[in-house]
């Protein structure tokens, strides 16, 4: 990776290198785990207007890629809380419906 040269302070060079390393790692992670690139993630993020597909809260941080653990199919982007919640409920529709009924009783 080529670092911009000129009158840039060493601090900004370090930040530049760290950002590029982060982006390369993020790209590799998305490709490896979900078979998508940053462009695909950004398109989903834009389509969801930066909001969690379940609770609708807009997050400053990246949303989690939610996928079916059986098929690998990507369902959408979720905040960490919603992603963990459906995981803790074993992604089981019956359990999730029972939980919703319980909350409304």
pTM equals: 0.74
Please count the structural domains in the chain. 1
Q: What is the pLDDT of residues 9-65, one digit of tens each?
A: 777 777 877 777 766 788 888 998 999 999 999 999 999 999 999 999 998 788 999
Question: Is residue 43 domain-resident?
Answer: yes
Q: Which domain holds residue 26?
A: 10-104
State how far the Cα of 65 lies from the Cα of 78, in Å rounded to an integer.
7
3-class SS shares of the chain: helix, strand, coil, % to 5 = 55, 10, 35
Question: Is residue 2 domain-resident?
Answer: no
Question: Is residue 79 domain-resident?
Answer: yes
For residue 3, the 8-state DSSP code is P
Residue 78's nearest CA partner among 92, 93, 61, 90 is 61
State how far the Cα of 36 lies from the Cα of 77, in Å rounded to an integer.
13
Question: Is residue 4 domain-resident?
Answer: no
Q: Which CATH number do you get for residue 15?
A: 3.40.1800.10
Question: Is residue 31 domain-resident?
Answer: yes
């Amino acid at each position: 990776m080529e670092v911009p040269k000129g009158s840039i302070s060493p601090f900004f060079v370090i930040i530049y290198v760290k950002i590029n390393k982060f982006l390369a790692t993020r790209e590799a992670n998305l490709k490896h785990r979900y078979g998508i690139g940053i462009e695909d993630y950004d398109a989903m993020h834009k389509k969801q207007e930066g909001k969690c597909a379940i609770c609708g809260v807009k997050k400053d941080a990246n949303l989690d890629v939610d996928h079916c653990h059986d098929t690998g199919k990507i369902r959408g982007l979720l905040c960490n809380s919603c992603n963990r919640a459906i995981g803790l409920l074993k992604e089981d529709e019956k359990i999730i419906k029972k939980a919703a009924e319980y909350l409304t009783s």
